[in-house]
Amino acid sequence: MTYRRFKLGLAGALAFLLLAAPAWAAPVKILALGTSLTQGFGLPPGTEIPAVLQDQLKAKGVNATVINAGVSGDTSAGGLSRLDWSLADHPDAAIVELGSNDALRGIDPASTESNLSAIIAKLTAKHIPVLLLGMRAPKNFGPEYEARFNAIYPKLARQYHVRLYPFVLDGVALNPKLNQADGIHPNPAGVKIIVGRIVPDVLKLVAQVKH
């Protein structure tokens, strides 16, 4: 084989690899807009959901930066009010984890739905794919409130055609071994379970990113 033919063959192989590379091979910025669950309340640095998710994505070959836009105690209204500020980072995709504090405070589910709808509408209008992390209402406000609140997330996912993970605390809620002393916020072991369960959906979310 001549040197010229070798160079041509190498160039062709490189071109094939570039064309065959997955859409998420380029750096991807993921906005994690949420509450204390996202912020990492009570957790050592580096063990919060965004940090663990970023590490797990990189371990799978996804070059991603997960932006921690979690605020402890934030409601859906608070998330909506700071959305424009959060978008200043120009994220490629977004994970929305809001509504838990609304439910804990007994806020009218119609208000929560309206705020989450406005957040998703703004993100999708900017062609930012969304993963919506669902929450379930506590039972202390009665079955009617619980049913109305729990219906918000599936409804919005259908309305905006966004990906839904039905319950962010699935497999972790009410397990004392996976939660901090308050019984609400996950400990590092709980975070690992949450992230491990949402990673398949996050990979599908990243695959929607268009560069």
From the list 36, 74, 92, 102, the catalytic residue is: 36
Q: Is residue 11 in a domain? A: no
> Would you say residue 180 lies in a domain?
yes
Please confirm, yes or no, whether 36 is among the known catalytic residues. Answer: yes
- Mean residue pLDDT across the chain: 91
Residue 123 structure tokens: 């993100």
Share of the chain above pLDDT 90, in %: 86
Within-domain flag for 3: no
Using the Cα atoms of residue 97, residue 101, residue 106 and residue 112 in order, give the sign of their dihedral.
Answer: negative
Residue range(s) defining the domain that contains residue 174: 27-207
Tokens of 170: 């699935």
On whether residue 196 sits in a domain, the answer given is yes
Per residue in 125-147, pLDDT tens? Answer: 999 999 999 999 999 999 999 99
Q: Active site residue: 74, 76, 100, 185, which one?
A: 185
**Domain presence at residue 57:** yes
Angle at 112 between CA 106 and CA 115, to 5 degrees: 150
pLDDT tens readout for residues 22-74: 444 568 999 999 999 999 999 999 999 999 999 999 999 999 999 999 999 99
Nearest Cα residue to 87 out of 34, 134, 126 = 126
Does residue 75 form part of some domain?
A: yes
How many Cβ atoms sit within 10 Å of the Cβ of residue 10? 10
Report the CATH number at residue 160: 3.40.50.1110
Confirm whether 182 is a catalytic residue.
Answer: yes
Choose the catalytic residue: 89, 182, 201, 211. 182
Total domains, the chain: 1
The DSSP code for 26 is: S
For 99, the token pair is: 């509504």
- Judge whether 10 lies within some domain: no
* pTM for this prediction: 0.87
